[in-house]
Amino acid sequence: MNATIYHNPRCGTSRNTLAILRHAGIEPTIIEYLKTPPDRATLLRLLVDAGRTPREGARQKEKLFEELGLRDPSVSDEAMLDAMLANPILIERPFVVTEKGTRLCRPSEVVLEIIPPLPGPFTKEDGEIVHG
């Protein structure tokens, strides 16, 4: 199975998602989106395919989200996309794309919806065991 992960190696959820993919025998294409941000069309496709709005695909825990006034519900989808493209740290992670679909894998176990069953239990960084 082919897979692509939009990855931030500093993020535990992203690392766990990548590790689950590898545990399933999948070596994905890894896009470190902070180094190689998606263009507008790609970001919009990821959001739409994952069933997310731009607001739902934004990393609201980032200090910059607040600083830019993005918490205001009147901020349009277009303005949210503009902010995410100008500041890729605001893109929530990790997005994973396979032939079975696209998901924003928060928590990391969401990736199980779009990959074959795991060959056995997987242990996340925090010790939590994932079955799938």
Strands 29-32 vs 3-7: parallel, antiparallel or unpaired: parallel
Three-class SS of residue 30? strand
Q: Which tokens go with 104?
A: 């924003």
Pick the catalytic residue: 3, 7, 8, 11?
A: 11
Three-class SS of residue 128? coil
Exposed (0-12), middle (13-18) or buried (19+): which is 108, by Cβ within 10 Å? buried
Report phi then psi at 103, rounded to 5: -140, 145
Query: Is 105 known to be catalytic?
Result: no
Active site residues: 11
